[in-house]
A and B are shown apart, each in its own frame.
Chain A
């Protein structure tokens, strides 16, 4: 009986060996190619003089989320193409994955470790404390200096009120019914900047336009987004700006079904409904990653601060895909954009600033203070 078992184990081992031999055949070919690549890479490195390795830890969305994770990875790919640096990513499947994924990059000797999304805020702060010599950077998070005693975690934030202002300006100019809508995600001071910028843009374009806005209390509920959008359209709204992640996709769907306008967010969302997405408020996460990584490569990077990306340094913007914006309005928007960049036009970023500029117009619920 015992002998039988031993034999069975031996046979299994035999199977294992043959299978690995099979793999080995294929592998030796591809490893040969790998060496070839490595040598050309080495030559390239010699020309550039120096390269760095950059890692990206995504949040649960993953690098194909059609949102900021994807945008971040595109930025790093561009960085690799231009500088020959080594870039890689790890997708986090759930919250418990953040710390181990950061640790994996530390073990690999990665020079700069990126994170995307404010959900990683605590994990990056902790990693910064535990690894004083490692540089980190996190998109969408502004750290208080006392949280980062080692000055090695950089927060990257975006002036989203500026791009929201521009798309609001477009909406204010283009609304035929005199009513526009806004769908937001979950109330927070970060998300409020989208609403405030949009309201200010619409009212600057045309103070008589009526704006309806509300929080959908979710970033992931397209059905809710569609529901709200349908209500708005039934009330006579003809343009809706959603800043609510996947919830906004429902609003775009409603626009498509009803033949109305929708405005996208974060990335150029025109591809979802080419005839109905008027423009998109762009958050150029890719530019930010490219920029900070380049500074790291050139040795001009100072860790520990908060980097602000706005219209001036191409950190935010608006999309013109589909050419739905008439030339005269487009010229006006460009003029407004230049005014903001030049500092002649101050875009409000909080409800209080908006209230001072346009009293009694803002009807979104207040955000609780931290």
Chain B
């Protein structure tokens, strides 16, 4: 018993490295520490700043719901990136798919008169479909023309961005004397004012419920269906999967399509549930890129993406309150950046440990 004391301590230390959840927590801690160093250097009190940030988020029911409102779209884009990653694809195009989803939702809400309730559902579905098409384009090009999805999705982001700006400024959708589109029609709105007494002007919308449903959908598809098995097999080893009789091209296209659909749903619920219109944008809003961060913090896991999305959403909302004490709200971006670096470094560190241990024991890699 006694001689193993040191050994078990090392084993316990090692368990921190091997447990994704624990090292994610540690990374978050490192991120917050880095943030406090920056706060100290720039002359702010870290306790006060973090008090403002976390108190501003967790303080009341209303602020907690605001955090959820901020989190909803990036949970969708985080899922989108996660799903693609699980199948060996790097979807940087969540931004474009998000934009196309929002745009399709707006178009359906304005041009297709339907009864309330049904209208919102159809518009959300249209958003998902548009995102799926946008993702599938990249998937098809990768599958049948061998063009790398990173290149294609980055380019599709810009096409979606300018296409959205173009549509918004056409006479059919432009609100006169403004640089925004007309409002989505009353019948297509998916938020409720029923909780106004409790949550003030927070838009409680159906997307907040749809997000966990999408998480479950991803988890089930990936882990409990033959489709998910096929998609993941292609991600692990394309040639082996093909040898095993899996239609690789179809799998890649389908995977990017599902990934795009998730991001598109995020855009749709944000437009129908929160913003209510689309503005002519000067720069991409970054919801898709936030999705990459969410996916990384969530350990590339659908359930992780839900919690990472809530964390990041809370940080985004709380970050705006840093302005009140005069601290820059960009601090949040620094913290998130350091967290992601830490996660990446620990991943590399684990690989290194694995490598040296294998070498020492004379095992093949």
- The size class of the interface chain B forms with chain A is 35 or more
The answer to the question of B285 belonging to the interface, with a C-beta cut-off of 8 Å to chain A, is yes
Most chain B Cβ neighbours within 10 Å, of A92, A95, A104: A95
The answer to the question of B316 belonging to the interface, with a C-beta cut-off of 8 Å to chain A, is yes
Please name all residues of chain A whose beta carbon is closer than 8 Å to the beta carbon of B320 when the two chains form the complex: 90-93, 97, 100-101, 104
Please name all residues of chain B whose beta carbon is closer than 8 Å to the beta carbon of A31 when the two chains form the complex: 45, 47-48
17 other A-B residue contacts (CB within 8 Å) besides A60-B282, A104-B321, A220-B282: A8-B19, A11-B13, A24-B47, A26-B40, A34-B48, A94-B285, A95-B275, A95-B277, A96-B70, A97-B320, A99-B201, A102-B201, A104-B56, A130-B196, A130-B201, A186-B280, A369-B176
Please name all residues of chain B whose beta carbon is closer than 8 Å to the beta carbon of A118 when the two chains form the complex: 178
Interface pair A119/B179, CB less than 8 Å apart: yes
Q: Bound complex: CA of A213 vs CA of B323, how far in Å?
A: 40
Interface pair B45/A100, CB less than 8 Å apart: no
Given A12-B25, A90-B320, A368-B176, check contact A27 B46 (CB 8 Å): yes
Q: Bound complex: CA of A23 vs CA of B46, how far in Å?
A: 7
Please name all residues of chain A whose beta carbon is closer than 8 Å to the beta carbon of B29 when the two chains form the complex: 12, 15-16, 19
Contact of B275 among A7, A89, A96, A100 (CB under 8 A): A96
Interface pair B323/A90, CB less than 8 Å apart: yes
The answer to the question of A214 belonging to the interface, with a C-beta cut-off of 8 Å to chain B, is no
Interface pair B33/A19, CB less than 8 Å apart: yes
The answer to the question of A103 belonging to the interface, with a C-beta cut-off of 8 Å to chain B, is yes
CB of B314 to closest CB in A, whole Å: 12
Interface pair B45/A34, CB less than 8 Å apart: yes
- Shortest Cβ-Cβ A-B pairs, 10 listed: A220-B282, A188-B177, A27-B47, A90-B323, A4-B12, A30-B45, A370-B176, A23-B46, A88-B324, A94-B285
**B contact patch SS:** helix
Please name all residues of chain B whose beta carbon is closer than 8 Å to the beta carbon of A119 when the two chains form the complex: 178-180, 279
Name A's B-contacting residues (CB within 8 A). Answer: 4-5, 7-9, 11-12, 15-16, 19, 23-24, 26-27, 30-31, 34, 60, 88-97, 99-104, 107-108, 118-119, 126-127, 130, 186, 188-190, 217-220, 246, 367-370
Interface pair B33/A27, CB less than 8 Å apart: no
A-facing residues in B148-183 (Cβ within 8 Å):
169, 171, 176-180
Q: Bound complex: CA of A5 vs CA of B274, how far in Å?
A: 41
Residue of A nearest to B316 (CB): A93
CB of A259 to closest CB in B, whole Å: 30
A-facing residues in B32-47 (Cβ within 8 Å):
32-33, 36, 40, 43-47
A-facing residues in B163-215 (Cβ within 8 Å):
169, 171, 176-180, 196, 200-203
**A contact patch SS:** helix
Contact of B46 among A26, A97, A188, A220 (CB under 8 A): A26
Contact of A88 among B47, B202, B317, B326 (CB under 8 A): B326
Interface pair A103/B66, CB less than 8 Å apart: yes
Interface pair B33/A4, CB less than 8 Å apart: no
Please name all residues of chain A whose beta carbon is closer than 8 Å to the beta carbon of B179 when the two chains form the complex: 119, 186, 219
Given A19-B29, A96-B274, A100-B317, check contact A190 B177 (CB 8 Å): yes
The answer to the question of B69 belonging to the interface, with a C-beta cut-off of 8 Å to chain A, is yes
Q: Bound complex: CA of A292 vs CA of B44, how far in Å?
A: 31
12 A-B contacts (beta carbon < 8 Å): A8-B12, A11-B12, A12-B22, A24-B47, A31-B45, A96-B70, A130-B196, A130-B201, A219-B179, A220-B282, A368-B171, A368-B177
Please name all residues of chain B whose beta carbon is closer than 8 Å to the beta carbon of A188 when the two chains form the complex: 176-178
Residue of B nearest to A8 (CB): B16
Interface pair B178/A108, CB less than 8 Å apart: no
Task: Give a binary string over B289-329; 1 marks a CB under 8 Å from any A CB, 0 the rest.
Answer: 00000000000000000000000000011001101111001
CB of A38 to closest CB in B, whole Å: 13
Q: Bound complex: CA of A11 vs CA of B270, how far in Å?
A: 40
Interface pair B16/A12, CB less than 8 Å apart: yes
The answer to the question of B26 belonging to the interface, with a C-beta cut-off of 8 Å to chain A, is yes
Q: Bound complex: CA of A34 vs CA of B11, how far in Å?
A: 46
Most chain A Cβ neighbours within 10 Å, of B66, B70, B177: B177
Q: Bound complex: CA of A188 vs CA of B277, how far in Å?
A: 18
Please name all residues of chain B whose beta carbon is closer than 8 Å to the beta carbon of A102 when the two chains form the complex: 201
CB of A183 to closest CB in B, whole Å: 16
Interface pair A23/B47, CB less than 8 Å apart: yes
The answer to the question of B237 belonging to the interface, with a C-beta cut-off of 8 Å to chain A, is no
The answer to the question of B238 belonging to the interface, with a C-beta cut-off of 8 Å to chain A, is no
Q: Bound complex: CA of A58 vs CA of B315, how far in Å?
A: 19
Please name all residues of chain B whose beta carbon is closer than 8 Å to the beta carbon of A127 when the two chains form the complex: 201
Residue of A nearest to B59 (CB): A107
Contact of A219 among B47, B270, B282, B325 (CB under 8 A): B282
CB of B299 to closest CB in A, whole Å: 16
Please name all residues of chain A whose beta carbon is closer than 8 Å to the beta carbon of B33 when the two chains form the complex: 19
Q: Bound complex: CA of A27 vs CA of B48, how far in Å?
A: 8
Most chain A Cβ neighbours within 10 Å, of B22, B179, B279, B285: B179
Please name all residues of chain B whose beta carbon is closer than 8 Å to the beta carbon of A219 when the two chains form the complex: 179, 282
Q: Bound complex: CA of A60 vs CA of B36, how far in Å?
A: 26
Interface pair A5/B19, CB less than 8 Å apart: yes
Interface pair A96/B69, CB less than 8 Å apart: yes
Please name all residues of chain B whose beta carbon is closer than 8 Å to the beta carbon of A89 when the two chains form the complex: 323
Q: Bound complex: CA of A34 vs CA of B36, how far in Å?
A: 18
Please name all residues of chain B whose beta carbon is closer than 8 Å to the beta carbon of A220 when the two chains form the complex: 282-283
Residue of B nearest to A9 (CB): B22
Q: Bound complex: CA of A19 vs CA of B104, how far in Å?
A: 48
